[in-house]
Structure 1
Amino acid sequence: MTEIDIGEYKRIEEDEVKKIIKQIINTYIKGSRYQHSVLKEWQERILNNSTEKLKDLYPKTKFIITSTIMQHTEHGYHQASTCYWDKEKDQLISYVHQDQDFVILVNVVCSPL
């Protein structure tokens, strides 16, 4: 685990979070075909496993994790969000997984407790 020390709070290394999410997707979803009937299960696996692993590695951090799964179609998609936060300590880490049938976007907001 790589951390950058910022006083008492240790800033989370982006690559570590992306590695965790990638492992979860590769374990539970990679190689699957898009099926609307299993999306809830996929979301639960991504969100629950990410939360468990991250809170164990970074116990002094709050996480907000979102997951969007989109089927490849000819339609576009745009998402935006904003918030007011501490630029020194709060982080937004995004991971994108592209498969043959779908795209998964996972956003992780990290903030010290």
Structure 2
Amino acid sequence: MTGMEDYQNGNEGSFNSEEAETVVKECIENVVGGDDYSQSQVNKWTASIVERCLTQLVKQGKPYKYMVTCAVMQKTGAGLHTANSCYWDTAMDGSCTVRWENRTMYCVVSVFAVTVA
């Protein structure tokens, strides 16, 4: 009888959210790492972040379809709240949300990974 942890680690198909978070953080850093918030750059940044994340995730060769969302918001003292909900196979599919910030902005990226049937 194996423990739940052994099963999770040995389950090649299950989504590795820690691995995905690392990929996403690197992509955000590469795109906006040292920059200050700029209204004129936001569309370019968000497009670049989601494209990079998708490319890097697909490169891992896992059997998933991916959806990536990205929101960039200027730091103004306002609150930022996000939520998501999924109806899927919790044993195989997965998601992760990365909240990143620097001096002038917040960036929130969500990745949804759905097993290719």
Alignment TM class, shorter chain as reference: 0.7 to 0.9
Unaligned stretches of 5+ residues in structure 1: none
Aligned length: 109
Unaligned stretches of 5+ residues in structure 2: 1-7
TM-score for both structures, normalised by structure 2: 0.83
TM-score for both structures, normalised by structure 1: 0.86
Map 1:1-113 → 2, pairs under 5 A: 4-6=9-11, 10-113=13-116
Q: CA RMSD in A?
A: 1.7
The structure carrying a bigger strand percent of its residues is 1
Report the alpha carbon displacement of residue 46 of structure 1 after superposing the two structures with TM. Answer: 0.6
Identity %: 22
2: CA distance, partners of 1:24 / 1:83: 24
Residues 63 and 109, structure 1, Cα contact 8 Å, conserved in 2: yes
Q: 1:4 to 1:62 in 2, by over 3 A?
A: farther
Rg (Cα) greater in structure: 2
Question: Relative CO higher for 1 or 2, CA cutoff 8 Å, sep ≥ 6?
Answer: 2
SS of residue in 1 equivalent to 2:41: helix
SS of residue in 2 equivalent to 1:10: coil
